[in-house]
Structure 1
Amino acid sequence: MTPYFILSLFLHHLAFLLAGPLCRNLTHAATGGGRWTLLKPNIGITAMHMQLLPNDRVVIFDRTDFGPSNISLPNHKCRLDPHDIVLKSDCTAHSIEYDVVSNSLRPLTVLTDVWCSSGSLSPDGRLIQTGGFNDGDRAVRVFKPCNGFDCDWQEIKYGLNAERWYATNHILPDGRQIIVGGRRQFNYEFYPKTGSTNRAYSLPILVETNEPKIENNLYPFVFLNVDGNLFIFANNRAVLFDYSKGIVVKTYPNMPDGNPRSYPSTGSAVLLPLKNLQGRAIQAEVLVCGGAPKGSYTSARMGQFVGALKTCGGSK
């Protein structure tokens, strides 16, 4: 185990916006080669979530409680939701399937609010999306890709044991997903359910890293380690967790500066490429970058904004 190290970041940021009234065929050549092309004048919704599917189509979806979108549901369908805080009856789509090859799209039907939900692809190519806001906080949504036009979201409104808003999903070797945390949820659960896993299980690191009124442990960073355990990072610390036994097998040093890195401080994390060194065991390395200084969230709510962190931390 190697302690966290601090690096300076010098990054260039590039944003690419798909939604909005954009001009067709507008291109821009990059100095290092390559070219951006705006493929559609308007895809109708904002891409809060996107997922590339095995058939090279992209599912895009957005929250349902922010008003109507710019694309209608097919066949005069409407979403009737008495619990929605904005639209009780909504005949616009909040999800689309985009076909990259043909540069075409079709509207899909999302019935519950996917705002800050989480998900992952299953081994058979299905997108499993869980949780969200309001009436979507316990929902499980399944999209099974097809080559025709008949596939759409299938929803299980109470498919989760706990309300999951800002949780993290990770695929496991046996094909299940583990769903970790969420707002005021200091636990985890599995999907699909079996008789032996049909409940939520306590996860102490989420209790230990919770800050009242700030909750800097949302959307925790989760990676499957080479030994089968899970690396879980929340706020400013990490553990190696044996999810099959429900025990912590290793506690890593805290970030030296003590600053939060997970949502709402909103840093990012990546599992670096694995190195197979002859005669030595393969080790996994995780790099956590960015975040916000302590107190930033409270300051922002008072209209005082501070710069993001320019540092990274790594562990193996």
Structure 2
Amino acid sequence: MASTPTLILFSLLHHLLVLLLLLPYQQNTLIFAPPGGGKWNLLLSDIGVSAMHMQLLNTDRVVIFDRTDFGASNISLPNNQCRNNPNDLTLKIDCTAHSVEYDVATNSIRPLNVFTDVWCSSGAAMPDGSLMQTGGFNDGDRNVRVYKPCNDNSCDWQEFDSVLLQNRWYATNHILPDGRQIIIGGRGQFSYEFYPKRAGADQSYNLPFLSQTNDPRIENNLYPFVFLNIDGNLFIFANNRAILFDYVTGVVVKTYPTIPGGDPRSYPSSGSAVLLPLRNLRGGANITAEVMVCGGALKGSFTSANNRNFVGALNSCGRIRITDPNPQWAMETMPLARVMGDMVLLPNGNVLIINGALLKLY
């Protein structure tokens, strides 16, 4: 899942228009993409909720949802429904929706029910196309929500209360080859667990790497970057460090070098990361996997911001071949520094970097 901007007090809107194309295998410099000649069209003036989280489904519909503890939204629940939640911090009785489904084909919005707070939750799509969302804030921090797509407007969120073993707020989810999701970390949680649960394996497992990368002042190990390596192990990056982790045995297979400069990259320093297209450099079974991490905040930005000295974001990207016997970081420079950027792998193998801000305010 993408990082959630709810704790950010500052945003530079003009950077929403900045599009960068990264050509990872042709050169080592990040460049601006040439103008495409397109234009923006306004399809809907108001979808009713803010898109804190958004996921394209296999039905070509988009499910959008937002936190529930920030007051009423701009769209009502259907049939005079109301959410009655005595644990909510803002509205105990709320007759507005905090999730909608957007139908691309008809350009229409349908309100959905979210019952507990999804603020800075995490999730991923399941093999059957369902979206599974876990954790969040307040009464939602141990809940699991599942949205099974449909084409007849009959589907809605299903919510399962307190099925997670630990509170998961700012955690990271990753789909596994066996169809389960691994849920890693979260605020104050240096552990991981799986969902759906298996009989006899209903446990939460300690992951010391998360406590080792934790800065207690700002918890710079939140929303860790996680990618499945070709050997079945997980590449996990938090703060400024990374490991290769065997989640089956609970063993750290490899410890990678600290990213040059030692500056934090994961939330709330809010860099972004992507697994680049797999490459077969030498033929046969010699497949290479490479991860790129871009942007973030300078070390000490939190202290500086408390003293009203707002330090600029990082303009560097680091690339590392996680399959190499002796992997090392290669650094590159973006045309613009940024935090809160989004990185999307395109079908042609390029990476699109969009959005973000020049400064980081905690």
* TM-score normalised per structure 1: 0.90
- Cα deviation digits, residues 1-34 of structure 1 (max 9, x gap): xxxxxxxxxxx94359xxxxxxxxxxxxx94222
The C-alpha deviation readout for 1:200-223, integer Å capped at 9, x for no partner, is 101111010001121000000000
- Are positions 1:64 and 2:76 aligned together? no
Name the CA distance, whole Å, in 2 between partners of 1:123 and 1:251: 30
1:87-113 CA distances to partner (integer Å, 9 max, x unpaired)?
111100000000011100100000000
Please name the residue that 1:129 is paired with. 133
Q: Which structure exhibits the higher relative contact order, with contacts defined as CA atoms closer than 8 Å and separated by 6 or more residues?
A: 2
Is 2:314 aligned against 1:312? no
Q: How many residues align?
A: 292
Q: Is the 8 A contact 1:264 1:297 kept in 2?
A: no
Structure-2 residue corresponding to 1:285: 290
Q: Which structure 2 residues correspond to residues 110-125 of structure 1 after superposition, within 5 A?
A: 110-125=114-129
* Aligned residues: CA RMSD: 1.5
- Which of 13, 16, 38 is the aligned partner of 1:14? 16
Distance 1:46 1:298 in 2: 30
Match of 1:26 in 2: none
Q: Which amino acid aligns with 1:298?
A: T
- Tell me, yes or no, if the aligned pair for 1:260 and 1:292 is still in contact at 8 Å: yes
Unaligned residue ranges in structure 1 (runs of 5+): 1-11, 17-29
Letter in 1 for 2:67: R
Tell me, yes or no, if the aligned pair for 1:55 and 1:147 is still in contact at 8 Å.
yes
**Structure 2 portions without partners, runs of 5+:** 1-13, 19-33, 322-362
Residue number among 192, 198, 201 corresponding to 1:194 in the alignment: 198
Which of residues 237, 244, 251 is equivalent to 1:247?
251
Show CA shifts across 1:35-81 (max 9, x none): 21111010011000000000000000000000000000011111111
Q: Residue 242 of structure 2 is aligned with which of 233, 238, 243?
A: 238
Match of residue 360 from structure 2? none
Equivalent position of 1:166 in the other structure = 170
Q: Which amino acid aligns with 1:96?
A: V
In the alignment, structure 1 residue 138 sits paired with structure 2 residue 157: no
SS in 1 for 2:182: strand
Change beyond 3 A, Cα 1:145–1:248:
same
**% same residue:** 70
| Cα distance between partner residues in 1 of 2:304 and 2:142 | 32
Aligned partner letter, 2:114: V
Q: Give the deviation of 1:149 after TM superposition.
A: 1.2
Aligned amino acid, residue 85 of structure 1: L
Structure 1 counterpart of 2:271, from 267, 270, 273:
267
**Which residue is 2:36 aligned to?**
32
Given that 1:118 and 1:169 are in contact with CA atoms closer than 8 Å, whether structure 2 keeps it comes out as: yes
CA shift for structure 1 position 159: 1.7
Determine whether 1:105 maps to 2:109: yes
Is the 1:265–1:297 contact (alpha carbons within 8 Å) kept by the matching residues of 2?
no
| Equivalent-residue separation in structure 1 for 2:254 and 2:183 (angstroms) | 20
Maintained 8 Å contact 1:142/1:153: yes
Q: Secondary structure at the match of 2:79?
A: helix
SS in 2 for 1:14: helix
Who is 2:188 aligned against?
Answer: 184
Question: Partner residue of 2:354?
Answer: none
